């Protein structure tokens, strides 16, 4: 496995792979790799001829008061993880090379970047869309892999890729959870044991909502109020049910939706979500009934 530091070298390496007829998969990360990232790397290794993992803590997606300086940086062990999973290259440009002194160009995905996390972190998706564009332009991937835990990020990137004709397939993979339900996140390591215990109410709230949805509840207000009730011991930033592609709030659940939540626990902000599609739920209930002979 090789470590590539410059945009020019990255593009050159990718062009060589493509000239040999190989497909290139990209797993964009900010490092501090965990089992959620591993699932993305494994998916790319199994589908693409070569897998590049980018490791870049992107200053453009942090506000000045946020955790850019303290964000976990574990570069050596991240490289070992990528190598052990079969990745071909780690792309790790410097912040100086990515954003020179006179840097002036940003990507905005209107509307989709505004609600949910965009309410509290107005700078965030502009920073994500910009850095992902820059990574795409250097790595030249056929496919790029993201975790569904960052559901709004996935919707923003999908729309950007569609609107700007990138021609890159976006693959979103399910959230990986600890046994007790906590969604894996590089920021979980900020939690003290008691904060971690309190954080469990986030996934508990989402699972309670899933039970209500599976039992046929379609009133978004009733579900959100149950979610807020289960999350009453943490500081809720938002809990909302939105259309899964447009990210607009819904009152009744008729198509595919995302129930997304964000909460502050001590100094740590965590997000999580589930998706639900009433049509798919109906089809799988019918399938279960058919196979049990009912």
Nearer to ligand PAF, 156 or 227 (CB): 156
CA distance 144 to 142: 7
Q: Which residue has the tokens 């979103």?
A: 172
Q: Shortest gap between Cβ of 236 and ligand PAF (angstroms)?
A: 22
Interface contacts to ligand PAF, rule CB under 6 A: 28-30, 58, 61, 128, 131-132, 150, 153
Alpha-carbon distance of 136 to 111, in angstroms, equals 23
Which residue of the set 34, 37, 65, 123 is catalytic? 37
37 is catalytic: yes
Shortest distance, CB of residue 55 to ligand PAF, whole angstroms?
9
- Torsion-angle region of 293 (φ positive above 0: left; ψ -120 to 50: alpha; else: beta): left
Phi, psi for 71 (deg, rounded to 5): -55, 135
Our CB check for ligand PAF shows the closer of 186 and 203 to be 186
Question: Residue 182 has what DSSP assignment?
Answer: P
Q: Where are the alpha helices (DSSP H) in the chain?
A: 7-19, 35-47, 75-85, 95-98, 117-120, 124-139, 151-163, 193-214, 220-230, 278-291
Distance between CA atoms of 128 and 114, rounded to whole angstroms? 13
Closest approach of ligand PAF to the CB of residue 49, in Å? 22
Nearest CB to ligand PAF, comparing residues 56 and 276: 56
Nearest distance, CB of residue 24 and ligand PAF, angstroms: 17
CB of 6 to ligand PAF, least distance (A): 18
Nearer to ligand PAF, 92 or 227 (CB): 92
Question: Who contacts 29 (Cβ-Cβ below 8 Å, separation ≥6)?
Answer: 37, 53, 54, 55, 78
* Helix, strand, coil share of the chain (percent; to 5): 45, 20, 35
Is the CB of 132 or the CB of 201 nearer to ligand PAF? 132
Catalytic annotation, residues: 37
């Amino acid at each position: 496995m090789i470590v590539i530091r410059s945009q020019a070298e990255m593009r050159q390496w990718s062009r060589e792979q493509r000239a040999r007829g190989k497909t290139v998969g990209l797993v964009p990360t900010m490092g501090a790799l965990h089992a959620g990232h591993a699932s993305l790397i494994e998916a790319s290794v199994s589908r693409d001829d070569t897998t590049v993992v980018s490791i870049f803590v992107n200053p453009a997606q942090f506000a000045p008061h946020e955790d850019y300086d303290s964000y976990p940086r574990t570069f050596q062990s991240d490289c070992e993880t990528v190598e052990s999973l079969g990745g071909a290259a780690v792309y790790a440009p410097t912040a100086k090379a990515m954003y020179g002194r006179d840097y002036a160009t940003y990507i905005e995905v209107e509307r989709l970047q505004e609600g949910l996390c965009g309410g509290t972190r107005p700078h965030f998706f502009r920073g994500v869309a910009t850095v992902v564009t820059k990574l795409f332009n250097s790595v030249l991937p056929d496919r790029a892999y993201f975790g569904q835990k960052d559901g709004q990020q996935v919707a923003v990137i999908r729309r950007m890729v569609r609107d700007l004709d990138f021609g890159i397939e976006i693959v979103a993979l399910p959230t990986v959870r600890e046994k007790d339900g906590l969604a894996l996140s590089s920021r979980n390591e900020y939690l003290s044991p008691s904060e971690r215990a309190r954080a469990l109410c986030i996934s508990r709230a989402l699972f309670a909502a899933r039970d209500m949805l599976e039992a046929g509840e379609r009133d978004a207000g009733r579900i959100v109020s149950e979610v807020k009730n289960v999350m009453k011991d943490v500081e809720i930033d938002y809990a909302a049910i939105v259309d899964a592609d447009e990210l607009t709030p819904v009152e009744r659940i008729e198509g595919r939706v995302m129930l997304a939540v964000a909460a502050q626990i001590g100094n740590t902000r965590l997000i999580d979500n589930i998706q639900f599609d009433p049509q798919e739920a109906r089809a799988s209930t019918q399938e279960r009934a058919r196979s049990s002979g009912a």
